[in-house]
Amino acid sequence: MIAKMKKYSFLVFHKQYDLFLARLRDLGVLHVEKKAEGAPEDEQLTKEINLLSQVEKTVPEVESYLLKDSIASKAEAFPDAIVFAEKLLSDFRQLQAEHQRVINSMNDLTKQISAMQVWGNYSTDKINALQDAGYRMRFFTCSPKSFDEDEFAQLYNAVVVAQTKELVYFVTVERRSVSVDVPADEVKLQEHNAEQLRTDLEALRHLLVAAEGNLQGWAIANINNLKAVCKELRSAIDWKTVHLNTTALAEDKLCLLEGYCPVENVPQLEEMLQDEHILFEAVDPTEADPTPVKLRNNWFTKLFEVFTGMYGWPVYGEFDPTPILAPFYLLFFSMCMGDAGYGILLILFGLLVHYKKVNIAMFEGLGPIITTLGVGTLVVGFFLGTAFGVDLSMVFPQIDYLFLNGKVLTEGGIRYVSKAVYASEGLSGGYDAAMVLSILIGVFHICLAMVVKALCYTKRFGFRNQLATWGWTLLIVGGLSAFIVCMALSVPMNITKIVLISIAIVSALGIYIFNTPGRNPLINIGAGLWDTYNMATGILGDTLSYIRLYALGLAGGMLGGAFNNLGLMVMGGSTEGATWQWLPFIVILLIGHLLNLAMSALGAFVHPLRLSFVEYFKNSGYEGKGQLYEPFAVKS
């Protein structure tokens, strides 16, 4: 849900203004409103923002050099955050540059060793001495097809040094006064041979250890300095931003500031204002105000606020979609994964991330939600009847009625349909129960979205302006609900028809006649027809989109089963194979299921987001164009 806000306007004497801002920042409850025309540009502020961005990106880089048991030094005192930050960045970049220079030199030297080792431990001094005596030694390569050893030895005094399938390596000796054109590619040797280059490489390894030690030592000494300077820069940026969004009045003698405070924090704010004798006005925000939103959700729903933020925060006065997004995303993710075994792995991985046993930057802080998604996958995967690609209905035949992919024994043998479907073919028409369930979930999800849209739009814009919205909601949601109730209660068909026709007539009035009160009825009818086309094509496509829940779960289960079959093929079709067969069996299962888990998790992450962001948000009218509540406060 969205916390209620109060809009405040403060009028402060200019000499008292900085003290007022300091008290306001210490309180940390006011979101400062930005000027409608935009704050004036400030070069110093832009510089500080860019510098802060660089420091924030550098902090995780520096942390990567810290050893597991390192104890970082305390932060130093610094008079000027900008100068200190620039010095820290410069020192760190120099150390990184030296470290990279050594690595590059080692890479180059490794390539040289690879190229020179074929020539053996030649001596540059002896080659030069031979040249001083009037002879020149040259080094060549050519393909074996182009090389005739006897001919080359006779014509060029060639001696083969080494030979591979691709190349022949040979040397020639000739008088310096004679220049012989050898039909091969000449090679220029390094001053040092491969053995000498290996000695140089070992020296570079010592330099690399020293460079890494310098980076680790610098990280221990300065990581807290970087964090402290980050905090100082954030505070300075916030302070200047507030000043830039302050309006000067009465020849700069008075300062006008506007902002928003959650209703729950109003007593604290007004107590401070009274202590400082500040003139203020508090009003309820209007639809036109750029009011920020503060989300207030329970621990479960709060886990999924990250997905709401990926799409966009709600506008104040709109609804918070997170309480509905959370359970449906959990359900969709679990159905797309569709494997109880993978759910167990997700739970373990989430716990390891949460308790810092696994430190991967991209998963930082996501341990609880990964664990929650794992629990959902475990439960849903069990009822879908799959664990690590194994059909649970075959493992637990005594409870196969619980599984949506069970195999049912009939007089004619095994029937490969769900037992739930077999028991109630009148409901599912003989189709796979998981597929039917996916469609039914989609119908319910879209109907819920339409009800939410009708209620929220009525609250924001009034019932009179939302007759078309209510018309569509009544037609689709009301019509479906009435039909289901009539069927469940065995209402006579003639009465059912009357109820449905009545709903259709009332809906048509809202959709075609009164969709925009006060407008020409003919224009309203035209607009209603256009909406009918969009709804007829959109609703059908949106509903069919939910088949992906079934398809992804089925694909993951089949791929997991395929890896199991590959493993069993190595074992000779059973688990009683020879001892040596167990190793490839285990390797195939580990690699196969890890690959399947990764692909399934990617699909299960993306496709539920699509169903939420497109199918649900579109039909619920969610805009997501709001701004998050960010109070002017001391930065941590």
Residue extents of the structural domains in the chain = 1-34+245-292, 39-110+195-243, 123-188, 299-392+546-617, 441-533
**For 356-409, what is each residue's pLDDT tens digit?**
888 887 888 889 999 999 999 999 988 888 888 887 777 776 666 566 654 444
* Helix 521-544, helix 433-461: angle, nearest 10: 150
Instruction: Give the mean pLDDT of the chain.
Output: 86
SS3 260: strand
* Per-residue pLDDT at 492: 87
Is it the case that residue 288 has pLDDT exceeding 80? yes
- Apex 489 CA angle, 486 and 493, nearest 5: 45
Lowest mean per-residue pLDDT among 116-125, 372-381, 407-416, 603-612: 407-416
Is it the case that residue 147 has pLDDT exceeding 80? yes
Please tell me which residue, 95 or 385, carries the higher pLDDT value: 95
Strands 386-387 and 31-32: what pairing? unpaired
Fold of 1-34+245-292: Alpha-Beta Plaits (3.30.70)
Q: Which tokens belong to 77?
A: 């005192």
With beta carbons less than 8 A apart as the criterion, state whether 29 and 630 touch: no
d(CA 325, CA 304): 8
Question: Amino acid identity of 267?
Answer: P
Residue 124 CB partners (closer than 8 Å, separation 6+): 189, 191, 192, 193
The number of residues in the chain equals 636
Residue 411 CB partners (closer than 8 Å, separation 6+): none
The helix/strand count (H/E) of the chain reads as 23, 13
In this structure, what are the phi and psi dihedrals at residue 298, rounded to the nearest 5 degrees?
-75, 175
Q: 86-95, long-range: CB within 8 Å, 24+ apart, which pairs?
A: 86/51, 88/55, 88/58, 88/222, 88/225, 88/226, 88/229, 89/54, 89/55, 89/58, 91/218, 91/222, 92/58, 92/61, 92/62, 92/218, 92/222, 95/211, 95/214, 95/215, 95/218
Chain center to CA of 371: 16
pLDDT, average across residues 77-92: 91
Lowest mean per-residue pLDDT among 62-66, 417-421, 610-614: 417-421
* Per-residue pLDDT at 195: 86
**For 35-51, what is each residue's pLDDT tens digit?**
876 666 778 888 889 99
d(CA 495, CA 492): 6
Is it the case that residue 421 has pLDDT exceeding 60? no
Neighbours of 498 (CB within 10 A): 12
Q: How far apart, in Å, are the Cα atoms of 581 and each of 41, 389, 496, 563, 571?
A: 71, 21, 66, 15, 6
* Per-residue pLDDT at 609: 93
**For 504-553, what is each residue's pLDDT tens digit?**
888 888 888 887 777 777 887 888 888 888 787 788 888 889 999 988 98
DSSP codes joined into one string, 500-538? HHHHHHHHHIIIIISSSTTS-HHHHHHHHHHHHHHHHHH
Selection from 392-401, 568-577, 615-624 with the highest mean pLDDT: 615-624
Residue 212 CB partners (closer than 8 Å, separation 6+): 65, 99
* Per-residue pLDDT at 536: 78
Q: 150-155, long-range: CB within 8 Å, 24+ apart, which pairs?
A: 152/182, 155/180
Question: Amino acid identity of 91?
Answer: D
* Per-residue pLDDT at 412: 47
Query: Residue 471: which pLDDT band, with cuts at 50, 70 and 90?
Result: confident
- Apex 501 CA angle, 497 and 505, nearest 5: 175
d(CA 428, CA 194): 75
Lowest mean per-residue pLDDT among 190-194, 345-349, 482-486, 569-573: 569-573
**For 250-282, what is each residue's pLDDT tens digit?**
888 899 999 999 999 999 999 999 998 899 999
Q: How far apart, in Å, are the Cα atoms of 474 and each of 393, 460, 491, 509, 624?
A: 42, 19, 20, 11, 25
Neighbours of 389 (CB within 10 A): 23
d(CA 148, CA 359): 60
Residue 352 CB partners (closer than 8 Å, separation 6+): 358, 367
* Helix 14-27, helix 266-275: angle, nearest 10: 150
With beta carbons less than 8 A apart as the criterion, state whether 155 and 196 touch: no
Query: Residue 577: which pLDDT band, with cuts at 50, 70 and 90?
Result: low
Q: Which tokens belong to 99?
A: 């470290």
Q: How far apart, in Å, are the Cα atoms of 95 and each of 73, 207, 373?
A: 19, 12, 42
* Per-residue pLDDT at 413: 45
The percent of the chain in helix, strand and coil, each rounded to the nearest 5, is 65, 10, 25
Q: Per residue, what are the HEC states of 44-91?
A: HHHHHHHHHHHHHHHHHHHHCCCCCCCCCCCCCCCCCHHHHHHHHHHH
Is it the case that residue 100 has pLDDT exceeding 90? yes
Q: Which ranges of 64-174 does DSSP label H, i.e. alpha helix?
A: 81-116, 124-132, 149-156
In this structure, what are the phi and psi dihedrals at residue 356, rounded to the nearest 5 degrees?
60, 25
d(CA 456, CA 622): 9
pLDDT, average across residues 95-109: 94
d(CA 528, CA 515): 7
Cα Dmax for the chain: 119
d(CA 524, CA 536): 18
Q: Per residue, what are the HEC states of 561-618?
A: HHHHHHHHHHCCCCCCCCHHHHHHHHHHHHHHHHHHHHHHHHHHHHHHHHHHHHHHHH
Query: Residue 350: which pLDDT band, with cuts at 50, 70 and 90?
Result: very high
Tell me, what DSSP letter sits at residue 182? -
**For 166-177, what is each residue's pLDDT tens digit?**
899 999 988 887
Predicted structure pTM score? 0.77
Question: Amino acid identity of 516?
Answer: T
DSSP codes joined into one string, 614-630? IIIHHHHT----B-B--
* Per-residue pLDDT at 494: 87
SS3 367: helix
d(CA 610, CA 352): 28
The closest alpha carbon to 314, from 628, 632, 634, 635, belongs to 628
Tell me, what DSSP letter sits at residue 192? S
- Apex 113 CA angle, 112 and 116, nearest 5: 85
Q: Burial, 110: exposed, middle or buried (Cβ in 10 Å; 0-12, 13-18, 19+)? A: middle
